[in-house]
Amino acid sequence: MKKTILLKVDPNEPDLKKIIVAAEEIVDKKVIMESPERTIVSASKVDAVVHEPWGGHPIDCLGYYDLDLQYCAMIYLQARSEKDYADWMDEWIFGVKDRREYVEHYADRFGAGKLQNLRAKSLPSAGVNLGSTFRNDWEVRDIPREAADSAPGLFEVEVNGDG
């Protein structure tokens, strides 16, 4: 049976103690006010804002970088075995002291050019950068659209039992 796992934080959750926003870029308040509908957590609920480039990697961040499909596939493959997943966690989660070291480790392992290839081309729109590389990993590898459409979702996993 397939089960979809959704990860979501509800800022209105009563048990939530602190909200720390990790931002690709710190912008002037006027930029935020130009598109207030893009703000998903009100300032009154935020305890801290941290400037953290590549903070959303391997997931895409609109205007900054695209989804790192190869890296996501690596995680997916490692998660198929408990030992392999533990090894991945040791290397990528517990083996780096912070996000900066994670990015440096990624560049050492896969090359800095890999990250740069994910960087979005600029396409500002009313103060908001909506840029992208305008291509995806399927297109780069000439994978037919039918194969891409039938591929399993990255957050679909096989579970046994009633799950």
8 Å CB contact between 134 and 65: no
Residues 19, 25, 31: CA angle, nearest 5 degrees: 95
Give me the number of domains the chain comprises: 1
User: Does any domain span residue 133?
Assistant: yes
User: Does any domain span residue 98?
Assistant: yes
Please give the Cα distance from 158 to 1 (Å, whole number). 6
Q: Which residue has the higher pLDDT, 149 or 82?
A: 82
pLDDT at 40 over 80: no
User: Does any domain span residue 42?
Assistant: yes
pLDDT cut 70: percent of the chain above it? 66
Domain residues for the domain of 120 are 2-158
Confidence at residue 110, expressed as pLDDT on a 0 to 100 scale: 93
Confidence at residue 137, expressed as pLDDT on a 0 to 100 scale: 59
Q: Which residue has the higher pLDDT, 159 or 110?
A: 110
8 Å CB contact between 57 and 114: no
Which amino acid is residue 83, in one-letter code? K
Confidence at residue 150, expressed as pLDDT on a 0 to 100 scale: 60
8 Å CB contact between 65 and 117: no
**Per-residue pLDDT tens digits for 82-112:** 999 999 999 999 999 999 999 999 999 999 8
Confidence at residue 17, expressed as pLDDT on a 0 to 100 scale: 74
Distance of CA 145 to the CA centre of its chain: 23
**Across residues 11-38, what is the average pLDDT?**
78
User: Does any domain span residue 163?
Assistant: no
pLDDT band for position 162 (cuts 50, 70, 90): very low
pLDDT at 45 over 60: yes
85-99, 111-125, 146-160: lowest mean pLDDT where?
Answer: 146-160
8 Å CB contact between 127 and 34: yes
Per the prediction, the chain carries an average pLDDT of 77
User: Does any domain span residue 150?
Assistant: yes
**Across residues 122-145, what is the average pLDDT?**
65
Buried b (16+ CB within 10 A) or exposed e, 23-47: ebeeeeeeeeeeeeeeeeeeeeeee
DSSP code of residue 157: E
